[in-house]
A and B are shown apart, each in its own frame.
Chain A
Amino acid sequence: MSSAAVVLAVAVLSVTALGFFAARWGGANLSDLEQWALGGRSFGTIVSWFLLGGDLYTAYTFIAVPALVYGVGALGFFAVPYATVAYPIALVVLARFWGIARRRGYVTTADFVRDRYGDRTLEIAIALTGVVAAMPYVALQLVGMRAVFGRFSGLGATGSFLALTAAFVLLAAYTYTSGLRAPAMIAFVKDTLIYVTVIAAIAVIPIRLGGWPHIFALSQAVLARRPHAPSIYLKPAQYFTYATMAFGSALSLFIYPHSITSVLAARSREVIRRNAALLPIYSLLLGLLALLGYCAVAAGIVTKDASTVVPALFARYFPDWFDGVADAAIVIGALVPAAIMCIGAANLFASNVFREFSPRRTPVETHVAKILTLVMCAFALLFIFFVPVPFAIDFQLLGGALMLQIFPAFVLGLWTRWFHPKALLAGWACGLVASCAMAYAGGFTSNYTLHAFGGSLTGFIAFYGLLLNLLVSAILTVLLRAVRLDAGMDRTSAGDFA
């Protein structure tokens, strides 16, 4: 075994032990849903910072963003403005949601929607959107892991299949046992490894390649020779695409079930507010990592599967043992968000689809959520073995577009009860169908070119879907209010938001 393989194996086994040990953290009764799924809503600023960072900046992000820059040039850098403007949104939206969730005991976004609109169909629609969007996202974490395992030629195809399955079965087991405390504890290891790896990469690789001016000049020359001639600067036709991708992605980042789960685990509103200002440290890391895409171009790395760009770069420029550290960062970086995504999706299914049997959160519901976590893990594993990688990425992009369709009901609902629940449901459905149709028509790219008034505008599908959603919701609300259709009961009060 190479020293990289030893380092990786030791790291994965250590975090597995940590995952099981996490069940003892705080001596909680894990048959209680709030304890199992939300760590007893007890995490302070530091634990939340590691947990949210470990959750939002997934291994897949760290592989996909440089891969995108490697593939399309400047457009791929949209991840940086995205990870910047997400935080002002987080400060405003999440602090408000945290407050009412704490007061009324919500575990999911759909819990709030049920309370606010008194509409069971809308609640289920919101919950299922989250579950469906989370599934390919979990699968993509496995893509990141597979890119690492696949490089150990000693493993062979069967060996890397077994390693991936084993790592994921262990993940399912400790998530089942310890709940959110497992990824929260492992996040400390994950984030430390990621910081060490990225800082080392940024310190070592650009110098070995002759410095940034040389890397950018070379990248520009190499990209210009590729089909469609991507560039290290945006073309004017890409301005709108770039801005809508950054803005649309930022709007959807915090309404994913895994983000909400980590947010609700915070001890106080101030923990969330403080983290809105502290989490951008990870965005800086992501931005530096994005530039590694150009390092890969300049280093002459040629690959058909862009997800192998970052691991290939590490393998070329790091000594073998440190390559093991980098591999461990990617694998553990995949395990943390995968666990939280499974928990978040399971919460939605258990609380908002399966529920209504008991008005109080009884241990039976925790049991359902735990079983559903295993089901989510199993699905993700099947997904990755039977669905080709490019499709998994398409599904994830589509998942982001679907996720954004809960924005009017959930986020706007935090401020206004003006929208009629049936109008929101219709808007959600229109946004969903339109997003899928645009994605399909464009051959599953994240952007769609709208032709109107003699011009054309290429923008982010999720953004167009949201505009249509808002339009339909608003027009129908006016109509439904005019015919005085019952608008459902609002069980929240102004005091709940204070």
Chain B
Amino acid sequence: MRRAWYALLVLPFAGTLIPPLYNHARPALFGLPFFYWYQLAWVPVTAAILGLVISLTRKRSDV
């Protein structure tokens, strides 16, 4: 089932919408507290997940 790949899209929600997971100062990166760089990091990670899902679910009619 190609459509099952869409389930991967749950990851960004789980990763970013539960603040107690990341509401800390440490570990810091480039001087940014964890709270900030962790959420920023989810932006490219989400883009990568989207790219993966898009390529795995492409229909033959899509160009």
Which residues in A have some Cβ–Cβ distance to B below 8 Å?
74, 77, 80-81, 83-85, 87-88, 91-92, 211-213, 215-216, 232-234, 236, 238-239, 242-243, 246-247, 268-270, 273-274, 276-278, 280-281, 283-284, 287-288, 291
Q: How far does the Cβ of A27 sit from chain B's closest Cβ, in whole Å?
A: 24
* Alpha-carbon gap, A203 to B18, bound state (A): 31
Interface string of B49-60 (1 = CB under 8 A from A): 111011000100
Q: Does A242 contact B12, Cβ atoms closer than 8 Å?
A: no
- The chain B residue with its CB closest to the CB of A240 is B19
* Alpha-carbon gap, A134 to B23, bound state (A): 34
Given contacts A81-B16, A85-B16, A247-B17, contact A91 B40 (CB under 8 A): no
Q: Does B12 contact A85, Cβ atoms closer than 8 Å?
A: yes
Q: Does A273 contact B39, Cβ atoms closer than 8 Å?
A: no
Which residues in B have some Cβ–Cβ distance to A below 8 Å?
6, 9, 12-13, 16-20, 23-25, 28, 30-33, 35-36, 39-40, 42-44, 46-47, 49-51, 53-54, 58, 62-63
Q: Does B62 contact A269, Cβ atoms closer than 8 Å?
A: yes
Q: Does A87 contact B28, Cβ atoms closer than 8 Å?
A: no
Chain A residues with CB under 8 A of B31: 211-213, 215-216
Q: How far does the Cβ of B57 sit from chain A's closest Cβ, in whole Å?
A: 8
Q: Does B40 contact A239, Cβ atoms closer than 8 Å?
A: no
Q: How far does the Cβ of A64 sit from chain B's closest Cβ, in whole Å?
A: 18
Q: Does A270 contact B58, Cβ atoms closer than 8 Å?
A: yes
Q: Does B19 contact A87, Cβ atoms closer than 8 Å?
A: no
A-B contact pairs, 25 of them (CB 8 A): A74-B35, A80-B43, A81-B16, A81-B42, A84-B43, A85-B17, A87-B47, A88-B49, A91-B50, A212-B31, A212-B32, A216-B33, A243-B19, A273-B62, A274-B54, A276-B50, A277-B47, A277-B50, A278-B47, A280-B44, A280-B46, A280-B47, A283-B43, A284-B40, A287-B43
- Known interface pairs A80-B16, A274-B54; 12 further A-B residue pairs with C-beta atoms within 8 A, sorted by A's residue number: A77-B36, A80-B42, A84-B39, A84-B42, A85-B13, A88-B49, A213-B28, A213-B31, A216-B32, A232-B35, A276-B54, A283-B43
Chain B residues with CB under 8 A of A283: 43
